[in-house]
Chain A
Amino acid sequence: MSQEMTGSEIVLRALVDQGVDTVFGYPGGAVLPIYDALHVQNSIRHILVRQEGGAVHAAEGYARSTGKVGVVLVTSGPGATNAVTGLTDALMDSVPVVCLTGQVPTHLIGNDAFQEADTTGITRPCTKHNYLVKDIDGLAQTVHEAFYVARSGRPGPVVIDLPKDILQGKGSYAPPSVNGHRSYKPKRKGDIDRIEEAAAAMAQAERPLFYCGGGVINAGPKASHLLTELVKLTGFPCTLTLMGLGALPASSKQFLGMVGMHGTYESNLAMHHCDLMINIGARFDDRVTGKLDEFAPHSKKIHVDIDPSSINKNVRADIPIVGDAAHVIEDLTKVWKARQYRADRKKLDAWWAQIDEWRGRDCLKYKPSDTLIKPQYALERLRELTRGRDDVFVTTEVGQHQMWAAQFLPFEKPNHWMTSGGLGTMGYGLPAAMGVQVAHPDALVIDVAGEASVLMNIQEMSTVAQYRLPVKIFILNNEYMGMVRQWQELLHGGRYSESYMDSLPDFVKLAESFGAVGLRAEKPEDVDGVIEEMIAVDKAVIADILVDKAENCFPMIPSGAAHHKMLLGPEDQADNPVSEEGMVLV
Chain B
Amino acid sequence: MTERHVIAVLVDNEPGVLARVIGLFSGRGYNIESLTVSEVDAEAGLSRINVVTIGTPMIIEQIKNQLDRLVPVHSVRDLTEEGPHVETELALLKVAGQGDKRVEALRIADIFGAKVDDTTLESFIFRLDGQTEKIDRFIGLMKPLGLIEVARTGAVAISRGKEGI
Contacts and interface: CB of A to CB of B under 8 A. Distances in A.
A binds B: yes
Interface string B75-93: 0000000000000000000
A120 B71 contact: no
Contacts of B11: 183
Contacts of B27: 125
A342 interface: no
A132 B19 CA distance: 14
Interface stretch (B59-67, B103-111, B120-128, B147-155): B59-67
B161 interface: no
A308 B65 CA distance: 6
Contacts of B61: 312
B73 A124 contact: no
Task: Name, among B27, B61, B65, the residue most crowded by chain A CB atoms within 10 Å (CB to CB).
Answer: B65
A184 B62 CA distance: 18
Interface string A303-343: 00001110111001000000000000000000000000000
A183 B74 contact: yes
Given A309-B65, A312-B58, A128 B71 contact: yes
Q: Could you say which of B15, B71, B72 has the most chain A C-beta atoms within 10 Å of its C-beta?
A: B71
Contact of A309 (B16, B20, B62, B73): B62
B58 A183 contact: no
Contacts of A359: none
Interface string A122-161: 0011001110100000000000000001000110000000
Contacts of A307: 65, 69
A121 interface: yes
Contact of A308 (B23, B69, B72, B74): B69
B39 interface: no
A367 interface: no
Nearest to B74: A183
A124 B23 contact: yes
B72 A183 contact: yes
B79 to A, nearest CB: 19
A183 B71 contact: yes
Contacts of A149: 71
A182 interface: yes
Interface residues of B, number: 20
B78 to A, nearest CB: 14
A128 B71 CA distance: 8
A500 to B, nearest CB: 35
A125 B23 contact: yes
Nearest to B67: A309
B129 interface: no
A130 B20 CA distance: 10
A153 B68 CA distance: 13
A132 B69 contact: no
B12 A124 contact: no
Contact of A312 (B12, B16, B62, B70): B62
Given A309-B65, A312-B61, A124 B19 contact: yes
Nearest to A314: B58
B65 A120 contact: no
Contacts of B72: 183
Chain A CB within 10 Å — which of B68, B69, B73 has the most?
A: B69
Closest 3 pairs (CB-CB, A-B): A309-B65, A129-B71, A308-B65
Interface of B: 11-12, 15-16, 19-20, 23, 27, 58, 61-62, 65-66, 68-74
6 contacts: A124-B19, A125-B27, A132-B16, A311-B65, A312-B62, A316-B58
Given A124-B19, A309-B68, 5 more contacts: A130-B16, A132-B16, A153-B69, A309-B65, A313-B62
